[in-house]
Structure 1
């Protein structure tokens, strides 16, 4: 029969080891989350965007519901095309989705279209491999979010590369999220040579969600 003091010692040792193991697991979990956030491209401002901080109104409640359904169905289901005037919460919703999925350890890339264009342009006069690396960067993640699509007009080259990125995601049957201030017709014009093909792919891949109402930023500034 084992002495009571020995049993007590063993129990304490086991409890201590379990506590240490839980601490190590928590630290590793946080490291993974920090790495996913760092790789996502979300800036500090957008890392604070959540569903709970989203200002729900009669003009945008449908978008919030669609975003929550997107999370519940991920990685299945359609992507989202968030459209509407400036300052109505499109980027907030997209960033909130990114943050929520990262918490579930999915890989997410969040980029403004201007940054994507700049990266493509930086490959001019370089090897074709560099272009392929850029395409791979944006398509290997579980989710790509492109913010402000159509904000900057595209050349034939940037339009073609953007189409290749979106088409690869289409072929891999992954979802995508797009935010834009423009109608489909205006998007086609701003997206250049492959504008029609890009918009066609997005239309097939995404559920359109319209956010309307006043610009939050102007409203807050005047209040």
Structure 2
């Protein structure tokens, strides 16, 4: 445990803005951005110096015995500043800036289990390692990215872990742009391979081209070989065998069948046996059922029912 795990929350008190955490996470453009709360902008412990004298006790020899001495140590405010800066390098999407374990609302028991797995991982993370990651599988809008955001926020800001977030198709696009700028894929993958915790969202998304498969394989292989912790979210099922897809009759049969086949695709088919085998060793699997409600749809429907119609559309009496 580093010194920052002791007393970082102290100066925040019962602030109504940060809730005593001493920092705030907000949406800034398309990214989640952390800042130190106004309640902790001025440190009452070190007076803004960023360090303080700490008394230590050590036995140097039997003849001399135990002696006490003072050393300069970073104040909690310095560690907090470093963690806030480190969080702003994670790359979390702005839409999950306010994501936490406490505001995750499960509609299914499987969602509650997903939260429990992510929360246990975050609160019991061992900085000495190794730590087993997790894979969250389920339909769109079921809170997978929310849980990734809550997990990384806790790890970086509360534990002091170095972490990064990537959406896999955007990573592919970044590497392609790098090629045009004369950069190699390894220059971009390198830092992602070495970070303590990496969250990969939308695993399995893409065209499945040789370039994409080789990139994904290299990234996961590097992290697997180095025993680094990786978290994943995917829309593809973790089931071992594909369920039979019946042909839909009628005018739209061909398109409907194609959609049904895509829906039934398995993650192991999308990423290949080599990568899938490593995921089985690296992670705990959590699958959300296909009928898990889309929270975005539910929110939109609720807003549609509660908001009054525009003034021009109201019926006159």
TM class, shorter-chain normalised? Answer: 0.7 to 0.9
SS at match of 2:266: helix
Aligned to 2:172: 117
Aligned to 2:150: 96
What do residues 120-171 of structure 1 show as CA deviations (whole Å, max 9, x unaligned)? 22243676x7322222121111101001112222321221121111111111
What do residues 176-199 of structure 1 show as CA deviations (whole Å, max 9, x unaligned)? 1110010255334444xxx22222
Question: Are 1:107 and 1:141, in contact at CA under 8 Å, matched by a contact in 2?
Answer: yes
| CA distance in 2 between partners of 1:65 and 1:18 (Å) | 36
Which structure: larger Rg? 2
Aligned to 2:88: 38
| CA distance in 1 between partners of 2:105 and 2:120 (Å) | 18
Q: Which runs of 4+ in 1 moved over 4 A?
A: 16-19, 21-24
Q: What pairs with 1:59-138 in structure 2 (closer than 5 Å)? A: 59-75=110-126, 76-103=130-157, 104-124=159-179, 130-138=184-192
SS at match of 1:208: strand
Counterparts in 2 of 1:35 and 1:130: CA distance versus 1, 3 Å: farther
What do residues 179-221 of structure 1 show as CA deviations (whole Å, max 9, x unaligned)? 0010255334444xxx222222112211100123211111111
| CA distance in 2 between partners of 1:134 and 1:111 (Å) | 12
SS at match of 2:101: coil
Question: Are 2:237 and 2:287, in contact at CA under 8 Å, matched by a contact in 1?
Answer: no
Question: Are 1:90 and 1:211, in contact at CA under 8 Å, matched by a contact in 2?
Answer: no
SS at match of 1:50: coil
TM-fit CA distance, 1:17: 8.9
Count of equivalent residues: 204
SS at match of 2:119: helix
Counterparts in 2 of 1:203 and 1:126: CA distance versus 1, 3 Å: farther
Question: Are 2:132 and 2:282, in contact at CA under 8 Å, matched by a contact in 1?
Answer: yes
Unaligned runs of 5+ in 2: 1-42, 52-74, 239-264, 303-317
TM-fit CA distance, 1:74: 1.9
Aligned to 2:247: none
Aligned to 2:47: 20
Of 267, 291, 299, 1:220 maps to: 299
TM-fit CA distance, 1:172: 0.9
Q: Which has the higher helix share?
A: 1
CA RMSD of aligned residues (A): 2.4
| CA distance in 2 between partners of 1:222 and 1:86 (Å) | 16
Counterparts in 2 of 1:59 and 1:190: CA distance versus 1, 3 Å: closer
TM-score (ref. length: structure 2): 0.59
| CA distance in 2 between partners of 1:78 and 1:167 (Å) | 15
What do residues 70-117 of structure 1 show as CA deviations (whole Å, max 9, x unaligned)? 123324331101001111111111111010001111111111111111
Of 250, 272, 275, 1:198 maps to: 275
